[in-house]
Structure 1
Amino acid sequence: MEILRFTTAGSVDDGKSTLIGRLLYDSKSIFEDQIAAVKASSERKGLANIDLSLLTDGLKAEREQGITIDVAYRYFTTPKRKFIIADTPGHIQYTRNMVTGASTANLALILVDARNGVVEQTCRHSYIASLLEIPHLVVCINKMDLVDYSEEVFNRISEQFNEFASKLVVNDIRYIPISALHGDNVVDRSKNMDWYQGGTLLNTLETIHIGSDENHIDARFPVQTIIRPHSDEHHDYRGYAGRVAGGIFRPGDKVVVLPSGLSSTIRSIDTFTGSINEAFPPMSVSMTLEDDIDISRGDMIVKENNQPQMEQDIDIMICWLNARGPQPGAKYTIRHTSRETRAVIKDVVYKMDINTLQRVENDAELKMNDIARVRLRTMQRLIFDSYRRNRNTGSLVLIDENTNETVAAGMIV
């Protein structure tokens, strides 16, 4: 069954957590003891209705303040699909949490308060979704019950967002008028908005096409480990295990191992249940080759006629995640696919003002939540594609060698 990963984004108090709670509640994806606990908590707060946001806001500080601080992951299944939800915070100081939560998403739910329209934080989160190359945006215009379910308000906000989205790199944008509090157009179709002829939110999530979101053209297989069973049954077995990061591999394909450049042919592609005829993202498999080649963790198996870039000097867009900015000449551990090496930040090309989408040049000081384009110099050559071409081989993280903290997440330009 297909898995759809999606994230929520939008301004503070637009109703992101309430929407996820409503989606789980109406699709009957919550255990009875969870519902009982949330009802009891809502009664203690003196609320007339059940506070569905409590289903995702689990931290004590979140419940006290009524805001989302950390990324909350929730899982549910319908007969058509499995879902992984990342409920991310809306406050500007938690931009880094939004970036980490959205980094693996196929789809982003952008919530807009029908009373306020498109605001600064809506633009910020939409830009981050675009930067992270999330292929699908679903703009949920929430709290329609507070504007008398007005079609005119819905159309005005849709046009407002469309005007802003023309600056973004997003191919698929859809608009749904909803009321998360009352459940209009979340799981069940709203009787209050007969003028809306599109699908409900759950119907959209179940039917949106994500099969072509992965790169099935550029064959990339970062090796994670070598499998040598040393058993009587598999005495001479040498398999190269990992997760397919792009393209389609089949037995008989001519391949090249990077960075060595040695070539061979795929003998078999194996899984826990047996051999298969083809492997594609995001399958985890083990490959055997016709020739005995020295291959280790961090190497990449690619097709002979389609190879990635190999460079030591690379430009990346980063989100700085750490409270302390980069120190001059500091060395960082860089993790990219299954490869690990060291790197230094040579130059901060520009910072991005994500409220205005303007570049800020001549400002090399990076602070937490800043998004910037920087130039790295790595100790060993990285084997990569641009992030726009392949999110798996185009993403990396920087780790402080002294504290072992992840200080930045990067997208290779």
Structure 2
Amino acid sequence: MAGDGKYGILHVPDFGDGMSSYLRVGATPDDDNTWRDETDGNRITTTRGDKIEVIGGTYTMKVLGRRAFKATTEVEEGRIKEGGITFQGRSDIEFVKGARGQRKIRETTVKGEVHSTYHGDSFEYHYGPKLVSRTGHEDTPTPIEDYPSVMTENPTMIARTWAKSISSYTGSAKLPVPSIKEETWAETMESKTHVKTMTDETTVKGPSKETMKAGSITSTTTVEQTLSDTTKAGTIRNKTTADKIISETRADTEDEKYGDADSYTQGNSKTVVDGIETTINLGVVNEVVLGAMIEATLGGEATLSIGATVDATLGLEASISVTATLEASVGPRLSMGPAREKVSLDRSKAAPVRTNISAVHLIV
């Protein structure tokens, strides 16, 4: 001990230049530190019982670790700031002003590569005016091999989940989310779902709009048993614009319509029935042809009319039957017109027979 007792110095042998280890208690005229403990070599501290350190000012610890990276811990006014190789920067805890003017703690952490493993239950609760999550950035160059001087790169994300059950809820009936927006930009997107049973329900109280734009669309649905599709709406409007529509159905078809039906075709229309076609009209049939009408029957034709039949043709009507034709009419039949020509072949004559009917004939 030396001086008036304000400080004490414990000297140890000097093992080399700049390697003086000592323990000093008390301040010196050129140093305001009242306690200095400096060791130029290794140091081991053993505490066999409890240890309590009370620090009234700022606490700072720096660990060099024989490497270029420096780890530091600084505690000031209850705030902790850390920096090191695992943080690639610092971890700051500081007081900030909240949304309602209250004083709260904010932690800012920058880390390097981190591997975390949890055993047991894990709970996360978030409260506050904002929760922001971001991975990568659109202005970050990638791949990193082309930009070796850039310290950041956009990652490759892989997520795998195995669980007994998964439940996800967004909002509730009591407190729904005011607005949800989802936006995805990708060059290639693939989605697969394998389940035993599946229920999908969507309820929209207001208008619903769905738009898809693609170069080509291929949709395949395979159902082993029954495919049931039910649509209920006040008015259904379908509009399709295409250069050509090809529709193919391989199944027995039943089509039921309740209500008035109106069909308009601009262009040629052709219907080919390879089999027996049966048409039953319970009511009045109105057929109006504005233009030429050509009917060709290759085979037997039987027409049965029970009731009045009215045919109105404005233009040329040509009917060709290369077979026997049977017409049965139970009821009056009215034919009106200035002239009607009938062409047939006579057995005894090779010239056709022409008959002009210029009046009104009533055939019963």
TM over 0.5: no
**Structure with greater contact order relative to length (CA < 8 Å, sep ≥ 6):** 1
Q: TM-score range by the shorter chain?
A: under 0.3
TM-score, normalised to structure 1's length?
A: 0.15
TM score, norm. by length of structure 2: 0.17
| Larger proportion of strand | 1
